[in-house]
Amino acid sequence: MKIIKIEQQPVKYLKTFRIVYQDRFDKQQVWEMVSRQDMSRLEDEIHHSAVYTDGAMIVAYNPEKTEVVMIKEYRPIAGGYIYAFPAGLIDEGESIETTSTREFKEETGLDFHYEGADGPRYTSVGLTNERVHTIYGTFSGTISQEFLDGSEDIEALIVDRTEAIRLLKEEEVPIRSAFILMKLFDLPLF
């Protein structure tokens, strides 16, 4: 398999690309994708195996690891509310630790205490080149909506094992957040 060319198709907030490639039978194929980034980054990733990060998903727990912080957030694409871990995009020149602390405070009002990170990993490799770190640590403070952006509809929650089971059965939880909940609370996969 070999990449032949990449074409950009711009829209307002995202960039769309057509990746023309040669499959294993030497037939030319096209893969359509979107990105928040530009052509130079995409080419760097594809042709030079460069690894970038776009942001962080923050998994914050109490010291006993019996509770985690999640958010209930309205997402237009879902047509309603989803339950997920706080997350956000990295600002130019910002470290992933700074991004995590800033985004966690904005979305929950709580303080985040960094312990470690995983990634960056793709969020949806069939659709986008976006990659995020999963950041782990503890939290302290009091939940508040004081730091929310006016366009965000977010409610922070403290989730224990019982609530995690309920969320996974009854609510919309993105796949990455669902797997982390299952792992943290040692829940069955199905």
Q: What pLDDT digit, counting tens, does each position of 46-93 carry?
A: 999 999 999 999 999 999 999 999 999 999 888 889 999 999 999 999
Asked if residue 41 lies in contact with residue 69, where contact means CB atoms within 8 angstroms, the answer is no
pTM over cut 0.75? yes
Task: Tell me what pLDDT residue 9 has.
Answer: 67
The ranges assigned to domains in the chain are 2-48, 55-184
User: Is 11's pLDDT higher than 80?
Assistant: no
Q: What pLDDT digit, counting tens, does each position of 117-163 carry?
A: 999 999 999 999 999 999 999 999 999 988 888 788 999 999 999 99
| Cα–Cα distance measured from residue 102 to residue 141, given in angstroms and rounded to the nearest whole number | 14
- Annotation: CATH topology of 55-184: Nucleoside Triphosphate Pyrophosphohydrolase (3.90.79)
Question: Using 50, 70 and 90 to split pLDDT, how confident is the model at 8?
Answer: confident
Task: Tell me what pLDDT residue 7 has.
Answer: 78
Phi, psi of 54, rounded to the nearest 5 degrees = -105, -20
Q: What pLDDT digit, counting tens, does each position of 89-104 carry?
A: 999 999 999 999 999 9
User: What is the mean predicted confidence (pLDDT) over 35-47?
Assistant: 92
User: What is the mean predicted confidence (pLDDT) over 160-171?
Assistant: 98
Q: How far is CA 97 from CA 58, 88, 107, 164, 190, in A?
A: 10, 12, 16, 26, 33
Task: Tell me what pLDDT residue 10 has.
Answer: 64
